[in-house]
Amino acid sequence: MRGGTYPLLRRAASLVTLVLGTTLALTISAGGLTVLPTRVDFGANRGVQSVLVTNTSAQTVTVETEVQVWPEGAPGQLANDVVVTPAVVTLPPNQRMRLRIGLLRPASTDTERAYRLYLTELTAPAPLQAAGIGVRLRIGIPVFVAPTQAQPQALQWSARQEADGWSLTARNPGNTHKRAVRLVLSGADGSRRIEPPSNYVLARSSLVIPLQERVPPGTRVRWLEGDDERESPVLQP
């Protein structure tokens, strides 16, 4: 079905992408589409999962699915070891369908694998079409495949001065991802909330957060990890 008219439709309109990961919600609703859950977790011995997609709008919606590797490789690299069925879904108003997500290779023994499942509208909503605006919705859902031997470790935080400001880096030495939300920096100049570009720090990876304000020595960072509040010093070179 990817070889028919769908690629032409995909090029005809610009995309508005909603990548989940900065929200604690268990469901997401946007542009008439509701997706549940907002992330997919594969255990080491579980090869099939699913998401429920509901069309809450008053018009028929066609959605195409694809899975991209996150973050290794070139941007937009399609995953060749994860399959979604059906690949294209047409939902009449107020109808829903369950998408099956399957693994084509077993979990790694040493490091968690991460992907993003994208659901893309193939046509813009009717009100936008009538206004001559070709905007379509794309929703990105994190997908994680746990290693057979999980070895989580605490996040390590550091800050450094850059040419155009400061940066805060969260390093994850463990072999599973970490999710840090509601970040607060506290130091001699007070406390301030910061908004990272993502709430996920992937396995054995780092997340760099640009900052405008100076990070003085002795600064500490607090964040919410699951139901637990964590706190750590921010190291500097």
Asked if 76 and 179 count as a contact pair (C-beta separation under 8 A), the reply is no
The yes-or-no verdict on residue 20 having pLDDT over 60 is: no
Q: Which residue has the tokens 């994208």?
A: 118
- Encode pLDDT of 153-163 as tens digits: 999 999 999 99
Where in the sequence is the domain holding 178, given as residue range(s)? 156-233
Is 23 within a domain? yes
Nearest to 33 by CA among 85, 83, 96: 96
Asked if 200 and 41 count as a contact pair (C-beta separation under 8 A), the reply is no
Domain boundary among 145, 172, 190: 145
Nearest to 68 by CA among 1, 8, 30, 120: 120
Shared domain for 108 and 196, answered yes or no, is no
Is 1 within a domain? no
Domain boundary among 115, 145, 175: 145
DSSP 103-129: ESSPPPSSS-EEEEEEEEESS--HHHH
- Encode pLDDT of 31-84 as tens digits: 688 899 999 999 877 789 999 999 998 889 999 999 999 986 667 799 999 999
Dihedral of the CA atoms 43, 44, 48, 49 (nearest 10)? 20
Domain boundary among 110, 145, 180: 145
Phi, psi of 8 (to 5 degrees): -65, -40
Rounded Cα–Cα distance for residues 145 and 114 (Å): 6
Shared domain for 22 and 114, answered yes or no, is yes
Shared domain for 46 and 141, answered yes or no, is yes
- Position 40 scores a pLDDT of 95
The yes-or-no verdict on residue 187 having pLDDT over 50 is: yes
Identify the sign of the CA torsion 53, 54, 57, 63.
positive
> 10: Cβ–Cβ under 8 A, 6 or more apart, which residues?
64, 120, 122
Per-residue pLDDT, averaged over 195-213, amounts to 93
Is 151 within a domain? no
Shared domain for 56 and 131, answered yes or no, is yes
- Position 45 scores a pLDDT of 74
Shared domain for 73 and 101, answered yes or no, is yes
Assign residue 170 the CATH number of its domain.
Answer: 2.60.40.10
Shared domain for 92 and 200, answered yes or no, is no
By three-state DSSP, how is residue 236 classified?
Answer: coil
The yes-or-no verdict on residue 124 having pLDDT over 90 is: no
Is 150 within a domain? no
Domain count for the chain, please give it. Answer: 2
Is 166 within a domain? yes
pTM of full prediction above 0.85: no
Shared domain for 133 and 160, answered yes or no, is no
